Chain A
C-alpha cells in the first residue's frame, strides 16, 4: 500500500505533464499540423545534437534558480511571483559591477559579480518579505508590483546609466573580460557554462538548508503551521523576511548564466519569463530541490524544443511553449481533480480527516 502511494506521488506530476503535453499537441491540430510531427520536432530540437542539448541546459539553468526561489518561499507558505523582478535586479547589478570594475582578474571577478547579483536580488526579495511580516500586506500583489518597478528601473539604468552607444539594441556596455565564466566544451558552441554547477550547488544548498539545519526546520514549521511555530517561540516575521531575501538572491543568480556566460552585458528583456516559468517549475517539482531540477530540465527542453517550430512548421510558432507550460500548470494545480478521478475509477476513497483522528 505504501509502495502504491509512493507510486501515485511520483506518477501524479508525470501524468499531469503527459496530459498537458497531449492537450497542447492536440491544439496544434487546429493549426493543421500533425501533432506527432510536432512532437518529433520538439524532441529533435531539444535533444538532437550536443549543441541542442547544450541549449536545453542553458535554458534550464535560470529555471533552476527561479524554481528554487519560488519553492523555497513556498516552504514558508509565501508566494514569490516576483522572481522575474528579482532576476532582473540581480542581473543588472552584476552587469553594473562588471562595468564599474572592468579590470578585476578572472576567478575573482565572476565570484564578486555573483555575490553582488545575489545580494541585490536578496534586497529586492526582502522588500515584499518585510512588507508581509511588518505591514501585513500580501506578498502576491507586492511582488507583482515590484516586477513592474524592477522592469522600469532596469530599463532606466540600461538606457540612461550604462547604455551601449555602439548598438541599436537597448543594452548596457560590456563587462570586463575577466568576468566570463568558462564554457563547457562538450556542448559545442552552446553557451552552457560553469553556471550549471552553481545551479546544482544551489539546489543542494537549498535542500541541505531546508532539511538539515535548525533554521530550515523553522522555515518549514512556519510554513506548515504558523500558530504552532509561534507558540514554541519561532519568530515568524524574521523567518519570512529571511526566506524572501534568500529566494530573491537565488533569482538574482540568474545573472551567472546570462550576464557572466552568455551576453556579457545586460540586455533589456532578455528573460522570456523565467520568473513566471519558475512558478510552474516549483509547482511541478513539488517544491523540493530535486524535483525543481528535473522540472527545470523539462521546461528548458520545452523552451528549446519549441524555438525551432517557427522554421520547421507552417503555422505553429514558438508560442506553443507558453501554451504547453500553461496547460501543464493547470493540470498540476488541479490536484482536486486527480483525487476525484482516482476515487471514481479505482474506488478507493480518501478518508475524511475526522475519521482518521478517531481511529
Chain B
C-alpha cells in the first residue's frame, strides 16, 4: 500500500541553525501517526513544511505516491495545501470569538446559490442553509456535535478543537495535522478528542499528531516517530513499544549538565508558604507548597498545567483577590491585599519565563534594563532622582561579574543574545539578595555555556541562604538543581520527590500524570 505521506531526506535551516536534518519517514493511510520530541526538537517545523508554510532546503515530500513538493517542485502556500487535502489545526486556534461556529467553519470556503452566479464571487450571498446541511451530515458521520449558531467565544476549548477539525473536514481534508492538540484540553476533553480521531481513521483519514505527552501517544497512536534536535532518532509501532522506551528515546542519553550540587544548608525558616491555593477559572486547585531558606524547590510539569498561573498569583494577588482561596505567605507575611511592589520589597525576586515579554525593555540600553525594579533602591536613586553615575558603575560591575557580553551598557537589550539577556535579568534580580527567588524557565533559549553559568549562580544564591522556587519544564534542569521536586499536573501538585529519589524517565512519566509502575 502506498503511504499517505512520505518524507524523503528533508532538511531545513533557519539562519544557519538546522531545524530539521535529513528527515525520512512514512505515514500509513488511515492511521494515527504521532510525532514526539522535546521542545525545539523540530516537530513543528517539519509539519509546517508539510502544510506549505515553510519551504525545505532539501528533500521531497510525497503524498499518496505523488510528488507534492520539494526542491524540484516547490509548493506555494497553505492554500495550496488545503486544495490538496492537507489540513492543519494550529496549537493556537484560528477562530474568531464573536462569530458563530458556522461562519468560522465557512470562512474562505463560502458557497453561494447558483442563482447568484452573475455577481462577483466575493459578493454572492452565502448559502448558509446548504452549508449547514453539509455540516450536519459530516457531524453525523464523524460524531462531532457542535451547536452551529453558538458564538465561538461562549464555547469551551474542547469544542474549539472540534470546530477546527470540522473546518478541515468541510474542506475535504484527507490528511489532518494536529499540533499539540491536547495542550489546553482537560482529561475528559482529551478522551473525547481521541474517540473522534479514531472514528476519522476508520473512515480513511490520516492523522499526524505532534505531541510530547507519552501517555497519550500510547493510547491513541498506531505508529510513532521520535524527533530529537532536528533529527529522527527512532520509529516504533505502538504495540511493540512502551512508555519508558519512548521516554529514553526522546530525552536521549545526552550528557546531562551535572552541576555538582554543593552541600545543602537548609535553614528551617520558610520564605514561601502556600496553603490550599485555588483560583476559580484559573487552573489552580488546592496547591500547597513550602520553600525554606537554603533550598531549591523545583516545580516540574508540562507547560500549561498551572505553573504560569502560580507565578501570576504570587506576583499580583490583588488581581485575583475575588476568586482566590487559600493563604500565601512570603517571608512570613500574608500577602493578601499587598501590591506587587510591596511583595517584592518583602524580599522576593522574580525571573519570569518570557523575559522579552515580562522582564526587559527590549528597545532600551542595558543599563536601563539593569535598574528596572531597582530604580527606587538606595544606590541607584536618591530623593526620587536617578543617579546616573551609580547606575553606570554598578551596571559595569554586574556585567563583569555575570560575564554579560558584549560589555556595553549602552547596547539595547534586544541586541544581546538570549543567554546574555537572561544573565542581565538574573544580575538584576540577585542584586538585592532576595530571601525568596521565583525562577521560571531560567535557561530557555539560552546557549549551553550560559546554562552552566546560570545554574552555578542559582546554587550560589542557595548557599547564601535564599529559598528558590524553580519552575521548569526541562527535566535535566529540575533534576540537577532541585532539592525537592513537586510535579504539577492540571493545576494540582500530584507528586513530590526528594533529590535522588527519582529517575529522569519516572519524572517524565509523572509529568504526564502517570504514576510510577
* A–B: direct contact at CB < 8 Å: yes
Chain A contacts to B: CB under 8 angstroms:
212-215, 217-218, 220-221, 224-225, 227-235, 353-359
Q: Which of B81-89, B367-375, B448-456, B484-492 contacts A (4 or more CB under 8 A)?
A: B367-375
Given contacts A213-B386, A232-B350, 14 further A-B contacts (CB under 8 A): A212-B388, A214-B384, A214-B385, A220-B361, A221-B372, A224-B364, A231-B340, A231-B350, A231-B352, A232-B344, A233-B344, A233-B373, A235-B341, A356-B415
Contact between A214 and B386 (Cβ–Cβ < 8 Å)? Answer: yes
Contact between B385 and A213 (Cβ–Cβ < 8 Å)? Answer: yes
CB distance from B424 to the nearest CB of A (A): 12
Q: Mark B329-344, 1 if CB is under 8 A from A, else 0.
A: 0000000000111111
Contact between A358 and B381 (Cβ–Cβ < 8 Å)? Answer: no
Given contacts A224-B363, A355-B15, contact A230 B340 (CB under 8 A): yes
Specify which chain B residues have a CB less than 8 angstroms from the CB of A218 in the assembled complex.
375
Supply 19 A–B pairs (Cβ within 8 Å), ascending by A: A217-B371, A220-B364, A220-B368, A221-B375, A224-B362, A227-B358, A228-B358, A228-B359, A231-B352, A231-B359, A232-B341, A233-B342, A233-B344, A235-B339, A235-B341, A354-B14, A357-B414, A358-B418, A359-B417
Specify which chain A residues have a CB less than 8 angstroms from the CB of B368 in the assembled complex.
217, 220
Residue from A212, A225, A232, A354 in contact with B373 in the complex, judged by beta carbons closer than 8 Å? A232
Given contacts A212-B386, A213-B384, contact A357 B340 (CB under 8 A): no
Q: Whole-angstrom distance between the alpha carbons of A160 and B305 in the complex? A: 65
Given contacts A224-B361, A232-B372, A232-B373, contact A217 B386 (CB under 8 A): yes
**B471 within 8 Å of A (CB atoms):** no
Contact between B376 and A214 (Cβ–Cβ < 8 Å)? Answer: yes
CB distance from B431 to the nearest CB of A (A): 12
Q: Whole-angstrom distance between the alpha carbons of A230 and B315 in the complex? A: 9
Q: Whole-angstrom distance between the alpha carbons of A355 and B16 in the complex? A: 10
Specify which chain A residues have a CB less than 8 angstroms from the CB of B14 in the assembled complex.
354
Specify which chain A residues have a CB less than 8 angstroms from the CB of B343 in the assembled complex.
233
Contact between B315 and A214 (Cβ–Cβ < 8 Å)? Answer: no
Specify which chain B residues have a CB less than 8 angstroms from the CB of A234 in the assembled complex.
341
Q: Whole-angstrom distance between the alpha carbons of A213 and B362 in the complex? A: 20
CB distance from A246 to the nearest CB of B (A): 15
Q: Whole-angstrom distance between the alpha carbons of A229 and B369 in the complex? A: 11
Contact between B357 and A228 (Cβ–Cβ < 8 Å)? Answer: yes
Specify which chain B residues have a CB less than 8 angstroms from the CB of A231 in the assembled complex.
315, 340, 350, 352, 358-359, 373
Specify which chain B residues have a CB less than 8 angstroms from the CB of A359 in the assembled complex.
415, 417
Residue in A closest to B371 when the chains form the complex, CB atoms: A217
Top-8 shortest CB links A-B: A232-B373, A233-B341, A233-B340, A224-B361, A231-B358, A214-B381, A217-B375, A214-B375
Specify which chain A residues have a CB less than 8 angstroms from the CB of B342 in the assembled complex.
233
Contact between B15 and A358 (Cβ–Cβ < 8 Å)? Answer: yes
Specify which chain A residues have a CB less than 8 angstroms from the CB of B415 in the assembled complex.
356, 359
**B17 within 8 Å of A (CB atoms):** yes
Contact between B372 and A228 (Cβ–Cβ < 8 Å)? Answer: yes
Specify which chain A residues have a CB less than 8 angstroms from the CB of B361 in the assembled complex.
220-221, 224-225, 228
**B32 within 8 Å of A (CB atoms):** no
CB distance from B395 to the nearest CB of A (A): 14
**B26 within 8 Å of A (CB atoms):** no
CB distance from A219 to the nearest CB of B (A): 11
Q: Whole-angstrom distance between the alpha carbons of A234 and B376 in the complex? A: 11
**Chain B CB within 10 A, most for which of A215, A217, A355, A358:** A217
Specify which chain B residues have a CB less than 8 angstroms from the CB of A230 in the assembled complex.
316, 340
Specify which chain B residues have a CB less than 8 angstroms from the CB of A353 in the assembled complex.
414
Q: Whole-angstrom distance between the alpha carbons of A212 and B375 in the complex? A: 11
CB distance from A240 to the nearest CB of B (A): 16
CB distance from B335 to the nearest CB of A (A): 12
Q: Whole-angstrom distance between the alpha carbons of A233 and B358 in the complex? A: 11
Q: Whole-angstrom distance between the alpha carbons of A217 and B342 in the complex? A: 19
Specify which chain B residues have a CB less than 8 angstroms from the CB of A232 in the assembled complex.
340-341, 344, 350, 372-373
Residue from A227, A354, A356 in contact with B357 in the complex, judged by beta carbons closer than 8 Å? A227
Contact between B418 and A357 (Cβ–Cβ < 8 Å)? Answer: yes
**B360 within 8 Å of A (CB atoms):** yes
CB distance from B514 to the nearest CB of A (A): 34
Q: Whole-angstrom distance between the alpha carbons of A232 and B343 in the complex? A: 10
Q: Whole-angstrom distance between the alpha carbons of A230 and B371 in the complex? A: 14
CB distance from A229 to the nearest CB of B (A): 8
**Chain B CB within 10 A, most for which of A215, A218, A231, A357:** A231
Residue in A closest to B348 when the chains form the complex, CB atoms: A233
Q: Whole-angstrom distance between the alpha carbons of A355 and B415 in the complex? A: 10
Q: Whole-angstrom distance between the alpha carbons of A232 and B359 in the complex? A: 8
Contact between A215 and B384 (Cβ–Cβ < 8 Å)? Answer: yes
Residue in A closest to B425 when the chains form the complex, CB atoms: A228
Q: Whole-angstrom distance between the alpha carbons of A146 and B472 in the complex? A: 49
Specify which chain A residues have a CB less than 8 angstroms from the CB of B15 in the assembled complex.
354-355, 358
Specify which chain A residues have a CB less than 8 angstroms from the CB of B340 in the assembled complex.
230-233
Specify which chain A residues have a CB less than 8 angstroms from the CB of B445 in the assembled complex.
357
